């Protein structure tokens, strides 16, 4: 029936345990005469489980042999018989995701002509890349709905072995010669595939499409099938319940409430910004009153603070005053801001950039307000002397 009798998963993906002869032992690597362990291939992760109670931590398809990597060197010899046990929950999960991917790929091709370019099966979710530059939310909902309709119909999922030259109706033509393993979904799809699959679309369980994002040359669709979809839906519901409880509202009210909260926060932030700017104007005017002008008639204000936020606002306010230079610094390593009123005769950006460069710092800005950073307090003092004197 198949040219790979050593790969038991080819003909029976539901085989959970088996016995086989040891062909090779090399450290922690073991090769068997036949195995039900699936190796990493075609985007599907490897199976885990045990061989004679020792954990299988990796399964590799190498030179047409299946290598079982154990968690420790086994006390096995060539010719021994071992019992293998598959981690069934993991295998079942992979079967649901992989068959679900076949179904989704067929649906996207049938509904929209979008072909699947690549597939990735992760620990929590899976993705498929479609050969399109856009997938609308409505199109995604249509695909999800149609895929789940086929799930509910319980279509037969079959495996056959066919000559590549005579295999017809494949969703994606194969460039391989010889025998092909073909996985079919009744009336929906035929694909060359070596992976493990369920027997019926009903066993895929619910299919949910989640994040959709544009990549360089494709659209990436994240999806979950079966228990993954159910577990994620339950987790999402719990989060929504907690949010609704905190807001003393029903889950259905959350969208409007969250929108209202965001708009309220934005309005409050704008009002706070406006008040902070007004406060900065008054603070700069008080500083000007308390600071005697230099011989050239320019008031030179110097101050320090713990953060730069307030200093930037005062620098912007100082730039609008008359005959004023402002120098503020904060933090470690120090950040600086420098402002010059239009009638001061100073280009703040040019002056500060030159001083920073000389002191090994970086920065610059406009003729009225500039900012930058220096390595330490000594460099800060050098910059201050260069831009404002004293």
pLDDT value of residue 1:
45
pLDDT 10s digits, 289-337: 999 999 999 999 999 988 899 999 999 999 999 999 999 999 888 999 9
134 and 229 part of one domain: yes
Please check whether residue 251 lies inside any domain of the structure. Answer: no
**297/206 same-domain check:** no
* Residues 240 and 117 both lie in one domain: yes
**266 occurs within a structural domain:** no
Last residue of one domain, picked from the residues 192, 226, 244: 244
> Residue 199: inside a domain, yes or no?
yes
- Would you say residue 252 lies in a domain? no
User: Nearest to residue 194, comparing CAs of 178, 177, 174, 180?
Assistant: 180
- Write down the residue that tokens 């149609």 correspond to: 146
| Residue spans of beta strands (DSSP E) within 63-206 | 65-70, 81-86, 116-121, 126-130, 157-163, 179-185, 189-192
pLDDT of residue 390: 58
Same domain flag for 82 and 19: yes
Task: Give pLDDT, residue 3.
Answer: 55
Confirm if 103 and 150 have CB atoms less than 8 A apart. Answer: yes
Interstrand relation of 29-32 and 54-62 (parallel, antiparallel or unpaired): unpaired
Task: Collect the ranges in the chain with pLDDT lower than 50.
Answer: 1
Give the domain extent around 217. Answer: 92-244
* Burial class for 317, CB neighbours closer than 10 Å (0-12, 13-18, 19+): buried
**Domain termination residue (choose one: 192, 223, 244):** 244
Tokens for 36?
Answer: 């039900």
Domain shared by 226 and 126, yes or no: yes
SS3 332: coil
Statement to judge: residues 101 and 216 lie in one domain: yes
Nearest-angstrom CA–CA distance, 128 and 130: 6
Strand ranges for 254-321 from DSSP E: 299-305
- Taking the C-alpha atoms of residue 114 and residue 335, their distance in angstroms, rounded to an integer, is 52
pLDDT value of residue 138:
97
Instruction: Count the domains in the chain.
Output: 3
Q: How many CB atoms lie within 10 A of CB 324?
A: 26
Residues 107 and 233 in one domain: yes
110 and 229 share a domain?
yes
Which H or E run includes 104? Answer: helix 88-112
Domain co-membership, 96 together with 240:
yes
For 198-220, how does the pLDDT look when each residue is reduced to its tens digit (9 = 90+)? 999 999 999 999 999 999 889 99
57/118 same-domain check:
no
> Both tokens of residue 166?
């005579």
Are 127 and 51 part of one and the same domain?
no
Q: What angle do CA 202, 206, 211 make, to 5 degrees?
A: 145
What is d(CA 372, CA 349) in angstroms, rounded to the nearest whole number? 10
């Amino acid at each position: 029936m198949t040219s790979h009798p050593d790969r038991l998963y080819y003909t029976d993906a539901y085989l959970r345990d088996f016995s086989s002869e040891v062909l090779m032992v090399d450290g922690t690597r073991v090769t068997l005469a036949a195995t039900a362990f699936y190796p990493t291939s075609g985007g599907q992760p490897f199976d885990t489980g045990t061989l004679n109670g020792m954990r299988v931590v990796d399964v590799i398809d190498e030179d047409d042999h299946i290598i079982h990597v154990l968690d420790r060197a086994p006390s096995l010899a060539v010719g021994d018989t071992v019992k293998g046990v598959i981690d069934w929950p993991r295998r079942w999960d992979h079967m649901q995701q992989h068959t679900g991917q076949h179904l989704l790929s067929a649906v996207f091709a049938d509904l929209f002509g979008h072909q699947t370019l690549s597939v990735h099966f992760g620990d929590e979710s899976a993705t498929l890349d479609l050969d399109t530059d856009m997938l609308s939310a409505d199109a995604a909902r249509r695909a999800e709905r149609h895929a789940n309709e086929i799930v509910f119909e319980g279509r037969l999922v079959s495996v056959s072995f066919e000559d590549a030259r005579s295999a017809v109706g494949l969703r994606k033509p194969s460039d391989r010669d010889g025998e092909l393993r073909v996985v079919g979904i009744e009336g929906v799809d035929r694909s060359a595939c070596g992976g493990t699959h369920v027997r019926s679309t009903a066993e895929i369980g619910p299919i949910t499409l989640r994040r959709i994002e544009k990549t360089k040359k494709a659209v990436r669709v994240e999806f979950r099938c079966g228990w993954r979809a159910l577990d994620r839906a339950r987790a999402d519901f719990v989060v929504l319940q907690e949010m609704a409880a905190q807001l003393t509202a029903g889950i259905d009210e959350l969208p409007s409430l969250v929108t209202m909260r965001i708009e309220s926060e934005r309005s409050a932030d704008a009002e706070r910004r406006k008040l902070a700017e007004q406060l900065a104007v008054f603070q700069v005017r008080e500083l000007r009153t308390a600071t005697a002008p230099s011989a050239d008639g320019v008031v030179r204000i110097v101050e320090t603070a713990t953060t730069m936020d307030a200093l930037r606002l005062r620098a912007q306010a100082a730039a609008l005053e008359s005959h004023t230079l402002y120098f503020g610094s904060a933090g470690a390593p120090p950040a600086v801001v420098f402002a010059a009123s239009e009638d001061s005769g100073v280009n703040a950006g040019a002056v500060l950039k030159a001083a920073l460069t000389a002191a090994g710092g970086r920065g610059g800005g406009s003729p009225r307000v500039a900012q930058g950073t220096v390595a330490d307090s000594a460099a800060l003092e050098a910059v201050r002397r260069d831009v404002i004197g004293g």
